[in-house]
Chains A and B, each alone.
Chain A
Amino acid sequence: MLFSSLVFLFIFLPSVLFLYYISPKKLKNIVLLVFSLLFYGYGEPKSLFIMLFSIFLNYLLGLLVDKYRSSKPKANTILALTAIGNLAVIGYYKYTDFFIENLNALFGQSIPLQHIIMPIGISFFTFQGMSYVIDVYREQGKAQKNPLNVALYISLFPQLIAGPIVRYKTVAAQINERHVNIEKFTNGIEKFIFGLSKKVLVANGMGFVADQIFEVQAMQHTVLLSWIGVFAYTAQIYFDFSGYSDMAIGLGRMFGFEFLENFNYPYISKSITEFWRRWHISLSTWFRDYVYIPLGGNRVNQAKLIRNILVVWLLTGFWHGAAWNFIAWGLYFGLLLMLEKFVIGEYLKKLWRPLQHLYALLFIVIGWVLFRSESLTYALDYLTSMFGLTGQPIINNQALYYIVEYKLEFIAAIAASTPIYPFLQAKLKNNRNELILSCMKYFMLIGMFGLCIMYLINSTFNPFIYFRF
């Protein structure tokens, strides 16, 4: 089920809120768990069993690692089993056909593809499962004796299918004890409506433009059309992804959970290093804490440091999808980060600030071409077209059409990519008319919510772009 769906807004959400708040405290987690399983089973009932298996596996491993933590060899074996078990699940469902395709190509084999249907959100729930066992081992959260609590942590519907990847240490205490007050509930609704608006009012429109442009042979694009396509995708992926994260955080707050922010205005970055501190924060910190630092992090010699960076970025790319363009995308950022770390970082800081932004944005956008393309060949053709090397004209009517027709969406996307809203909120505080202004804000939010409903009723274009994650 998607948050940006009428069934979620008008059947699921009122039902879960109603039953949650009328239930006695000891039943609240059960209500949330049942609804989380319903939420997951709604789209793909068969995949529910895979998630339940993953939950059971990590529950057992969590108990074992807690029991044998004093024996390092045993604890290490359990941690290794955790990694192997979880990676086997994700590997089978997500990467089997990718490996078969490459084995066939490499060795001239004809092993038949398995066409395994990947359970939605598998990359998120397996990573949360691993986080649970590792955090228990590191004593950053208590092992749950009650399997329902582990099930709730892994399957909690707000963050289940599109993140953020909530670390066990972040919510361990909240599973058993959390509070909601008017302030928090209001804040949750506000965050949810903002996220929904990002997805429905901006990302969907931008996605429509991007899809139309990316489905045509890149060599046929005019220069401007290529840039419009990639800018549209740049906006789509940010507003879609951060919109989902905002909705997840908002929904979490409505039930008393506090999840960490997943995005922090990434497109205002002045370098790629900064971009990755602001983009999909829960994934980068997951890899930092569970892969990069255990490999030695920064405190190793330069060769090992390069290895560590490349490993993390190879995995980051591969996590996003089982295709070479995702691996290329990950390594592309790995290389850029190394370049900034070892070569141009200091020079970059001395540049005129607008040029720093331009530099970061240019390379981010090029990265999205790799990410959005169906193949590496298409990505290269697309880049060729962006830089006017295909012999096509600079501009055509189609490009003009997208500019004129979607100008407001583009303007909204640019404005909302900057921290204009927190800036206005800060101005609002301690203002003489704070009360009037805050009432206006709430009416504006309800208006945005109404607009989202209107768009959802009308639009048939409401994609879920993380099906590969």
Chain B
Amino acid sequence: MKRFGKILFIVLFLGVIFTIPVLTKLQKSQAVSQFENRRLAELPVLSKTSLLSGEYFSKWETYLSDHIYGRNTWIKSYTFINMVVLGKANINNIVIGRDGFLLPFFDYDGKYDVLNSEENLSKMVDQLKELQDKLVQRGGSFYFVGVPSQASYHRTDYPKHLQNKSELLNEIERQIFDKLDQQNVAYINMNDVFHKNTNIEYYYKTDHHYNFEGAYATYYEIIRNIQQKGGLNIRPPMDKADLDIVTLPNPFGGSRNRQIYYMQPASEQIKIAYPKIKIPYEKFNNGKADNKLYYLAENEAAMINYGVYMGGDWAETVIRTNNNKLPNLLVFGDSFTNALEPLLYAHFNETRVLDLRHYNKMSLYEYIDEYNPDVVVMVRDDLNYGNLEGNGSFKGENVK
């Protein structure tokens, strides 16, 4: 019997090391990992250079890890063990905070401290001032809209032993708005706005973006400022009573929940809104006509995410109401602009939206010269106030 136990052990071990590669070879290879939101490694290409440098073989390790049989099950199990069995607070760089808020893990590498150094914040404010001066010279106006990131707004929900960057976030906020004040740059600080009514929840628990309430409040403030402070002849912001607000029945797959393989139960749902008085428009994504403002799933059971708003990030989106009496708007920023666009367009003749992380045909300045907007709005989250790349780069460093 003892011998039987040993033979069984050998069979199990050999079974694992012989079966997994065979099953891996037999299964259909996948190009993209939906869970990890990334392309999987491709089969390494053999060449004399790659062979001699060792690169060919090292790529095999990545390839095998990406395509191993049952990969999703392996990584889900790993997440489960870390989350439930080992009780880790940091699971795949996600922290489960108070009330089930999924927050980003802030490492001790000082990445955000460097990104938001005083030097970077000063440079950012200087270039915002330069941009505003250019627009004012042309008879236009500019607004910097600062939005707290989900991690920033919910910083008090972090477990006590983890850093929440509270001091840094306070300092970034203080510095940038002080500097904007000193330089007379028009801004809207959504952190102040959100904190005026803390009964409303402005953020998803399981996604890094604001929810409909956050987007609506931001839209409201932008239009109110442009109309009231800027004196532009546009209709006032739409009240909720002016909107048909629809709660989508689909399960919500937030970006942070995706990072932990949707292991955090979430009952959140996405809300979308249409003006009750229809405003005709035509819309183009990267030059191609596409009239959808919301990208809905084909059935109610399908999981949806923040990509519902405008179909995710596009380099350039143009929405025209073709009402020449109204001014033209240019908005640029990261994905925080996506949920604003279906509401903002209603107030303008032409709304152009750029994501400078992806747009590389011309610089922001050249774009302004080309399309002559009356109002320019930059939307930025507070963890990226000092980030001079992507949407923080105005002079075309990304232009091809």
Query: A453 and B9: CB pair below 8 A?
Result: no
Q: Which residues of A contact B52 (CB under 8 A)?
A: 45-46
Known: A398-B108, A446-B13, A457-B74. A435 touches B2 (CB 8 A): yes
Shortest B26–chain A CB gap in Å is 13
Shortest B163–chain A CB gap in Å is 6
Q: Which residues of B contact A189 (CB under 8 A)?
A: 9-10, 13
**Does A408 belong to the interface (CB within 8 Å)?**
yes
Q: Nearest A residue to B75 by beta-carbon distance?
A: A458
Binary contact track A1-22/B, C-beta < 8 Å → 1, others 0: 1000111011101100110000
Query: A10 and B61: CB pair below 8 A?
Result: no
**Does B1 belong to the interface (CB within 8 Å)?**
yes
Query: B108 and A212: CB pair below 8 A?
Result: yes
Query: A6 and B162: CB pair below 8 A?
Result: no
Binary contact track A175-187/B, C-beta < 8 Å → 1, others 0: 0000000110110
Q: Which residues of A contact B12 (CB under 8 A)?
A: 442, 446
Shortest B110–chain A CB gap in Å is 9
**Does A404 belong to the interface (CB within 8 Å)?**
yes
Q: Which residues of A contact B3 (CB under 8 A)?
A: 182
12 new A-B pairs (CB below 8 Å) besides A450-B16, A453-B16? A5-B61, A6-B65, A10-B20, A11-B64, A18-B18, A45-B54, A186-B6, A186-B10, A401-B161, A401-B162, A442-B5, A453-B20
A120-168 interface with B by 8 A CB criterion: none
Q: Nearest A residue to B70 by beta-carbon distance?
A: A457
Query: A457 and B78: CB pair below 8 A?
Result: yes
**Does B187 belong to the interface (CB within 8 Å)?**
no
Q: Nearest B residue to A42 by beta-carbon distance?
A: B57
Contact residue among A7, A44, A216 (Cβ-Cβ distance under 8 Å from B61): A7
Known: A397-B161, A408-B86, A445-B9. A454 touches B74 (CB 8 A): yes
Query: A446 and B9: CB pair below 8 A?
Result: yes
The 7 closest A-B pairs by CB, nearest first: A442-B9, A186-B6, A10-B21, A458-B78, A400-B161, A6-B64, A457-B74
B18-46 interface with A by 8 A CB criterion: 18, 20-21, 24
Shortest A35–chain B CB gap in Å is 14
**Does B326 belong to the interface (CB within 8 Å)?**
no
The docked-state distance in angstroms from the alpha carbon of A250 to that of B54 is 27
The docked-state distance in angstroms from the alpha carbon of A228 to that of B325 is 67
Contact residue among B20, B21, B78 (Cβ-Cβ distance under 8 Å from A455): B78
A416-463 interface with B by 8 A CB criterion: 434-435, 438-439, 442, 445-446, 449-451, 453-458
Subset of 15 A-B contacts with CB under 8 Å: A1-B57, A7-B64, A11-B21, A14-B17, A17-B17, A43-B58, A46-B52, A182-B6, A189-B10, A404-B161, A408-B86, A439-B8, A453-B74, A454-B75, A457-B71
Interface residues contributed by chain A, number (CB under 8 Å): 48
Query: B5 and A9: CB pair below 8 A?
Result: no
The docked-state distance in angstroms from the alpha carbon of A48 to that of B114 is 43
Known: A6-B64, A14-B18. A442 touches B8 (CB 8 A): yes
Q: Nearest B residue to A43 by beta-carbon distance?
A: B54
Shortest A396–chain B CB gap in Å is 10
Q: Which residues of B contact A185 (CB under 8 A)?
A: 10
The docked-state distance in angstroms from the alpha carbon of A46 to that of B48 is 12
**Does B177 belong to the interface (CB within 8 Å)?**
no
The docked-state distance in angstroms from the alpha carbon of A373 to that of B134 is 53
Q: Which residues of A contact B57 (CB under 8 A)?
A: 1, 7, 42-43
Binary contact track B55-67/A, C-beta < 8 Å → 1, others 0: 0011011001100
**Does A405 belong to the interface (CB within 8 Å)?**
yes
Best-buried of B8, B58, B78 by chain A (most CB within 10 Å): B78
**Does B7 belong to the interface (CB within 8 Å)?**
yes
Query: A457 and B162: CB pair below 8 A?
Result: no
Contact residue among B1, B68, B163 (Cβ-Cβ distance under 8 Å from A397): B163
**Does B81 belong to the interface (CB within 8 Å)?**
yes
Binary contact track B87-123/A, C-beta < 8 Å → 1, others 0: 0111000000000000000001100000000000000
Q: Nearest A residue to B110 by beta-carbon distance?
A: A216
Q: Which residues of A contact B14 (CB under 8 A)?
A: 14, 17
Query: A454 and B86: CB pair below 8 A?
Result: no
Query: A398 and B163: CB pair below 8 A?
Result: yes
Query: A44 and B54: CB pair below 8 A?
Result: yes
The docked-state distance in angstroms from the alpha carbon of A5 to that of B68 is 12
Query: A457 and B16: CB pair below 8 A?
Result: no
The docked-state distance in angstroms from the alpha carbon of A14 to that of B20 is 10
The docked-state distance in angstroms from the alpha carbon of A260 to that of B350 is 79
Q: Which residues of A contact B21 (CB under 8 A)?
A: 10-11, 14
Best-buried of B8, B21, B90 by chain A (most CB within 10 Å): B21
Shortest B52–chain A CB gap in Å is 5
Query: A401 and B163: CB pair below 8 A?
Result: yes
Q: Nearest B residue to A400 by beta-carbon distance?
A: B161
Q: Which residues of B contact A397 (CB under 8 A)?
A: 161-163
Q: Which residues of B contact A193 (CB under 8 A)?
A: 13
Known: A446-B13, A449-B13. A454 touches B77 (CB 8 A): yes
**Does B51 belong to the interface (CB within 8 Å)?**
yes
Shortest B100–chain A CB gap in Å is 20
Shortest A453–chain B CB gap in Å is 7
Contact residue among B16, B78, B163 (Cβ-Cβ distance under 8 Å from A446): B16
Q: Which residues of A contact B163 (CB under 8 A)?
A: 397-398, 401
Shortest A183–chain B CB gap in Å is 7
The docked-state distance in angstroms from the alpha carbon of A39 to that of B380 is 51
The docked-state distance in angstroms from the alpha carbon of A117 to that of B161 is 43
Q: Which residues of A contact B162 (CB under 8 A)?
A: 397, 401
Query: A10 and B64: CB pair below 8 A?
Result: yes
Q: Nearest B residue to A445 by beta-carbon distance?
A: B9
Query: B78 and A45: CB pair below 8 A?
Result: no
The docked-state distance in angstroms from the alpha carbon of A17 to that of B24 is 19
Known: A14-B17, A212-B108, A408-B86. A182 touches B54 (CB 8 A): no
Binary contact track A35-59/B, C-beta < 8 Å → 1, others 0: 0000000111110000000000000
Q: Which residues of B contact A404 (CB under 8 A)?
A: 89, 161
The docked-state distance in angstroms from the alpha carbon of A442 to that of B7 is 10
Shortest B58–chain A CB gap in Å is 7
The docked-state distance in angstroms from the alpha carbon of A405 to that of B107 is 13
Q: Which residues of B contact A43 (CB under 8 A)?
A: 54, 57-58
Contact residue among A7, A400, A438, A445 (Cβ-Cβ distance under 8 Å from B2): A438
Shortest B389–chain A CB gap in Å is 24
Q: Nearest A residue to B18 by beta-carbon distance?
A: A14
The docked-state distance in angstroms from the alpha carbon of A397 to that of B160 is 9
The docked-state distance in angstroms from the alpha carbon of A212 to that of B90 is 15
Contact residue among B9, B24, B108 (Cβ-Cβ distance under 8 Å from A10): B24
Query: B71 and A182: CB pair below 8 A?
Result: no
Q: Nearest A residue to B15 by beta-carbon distance?
A: A446
Contact residue among B51, B64, B88 (Cβ-Cβ distance under 8 Å from A405): B88
Q: Nearest B residue to A406 by beta-carbon distance?
A: B88
Q: Nearest B residue to A189 by beta-carbon distance?
A: B13
The docked-state distance in angstroms from the alpha carbon of A439 to that of B9 is 8
The docked-state distance in angstroms from the alpha carbon of A355 to that of B20 is 50
The docked-state distance in angstroms from the alpha carbon of A446 to that of B13 is 7
Binary contact track B274-289/A, C-beta < 8 Å → 1, others 0: 0000000000000000
Q: Nearest B residue to A399 by beta-carbon distance?
A: B161
Q: Which residues of A contact B71 (CB under 8 A)?
A: 457
The docked-state distance in angstroms from the alpha carbon of A404 to that of B5 is 39
Q: Which residues of A contact B13 (CB under 8 A)?
A: 189, 193, 446, 449
Shortest A212–chain B CB gap in Å is 6
Shortest A368–chain B CB gap in Å is 21
Shortest B167–chain A CB gap in Å is 11
Shortest A419–chain B CB gap in Å is 23
A168-210 interface with B by 8 A CB criterion: 182-183, 185-186, 189-190, 193
The docked-state distance in angstroms from the alpha carbon of A361 to that of B125 is 54
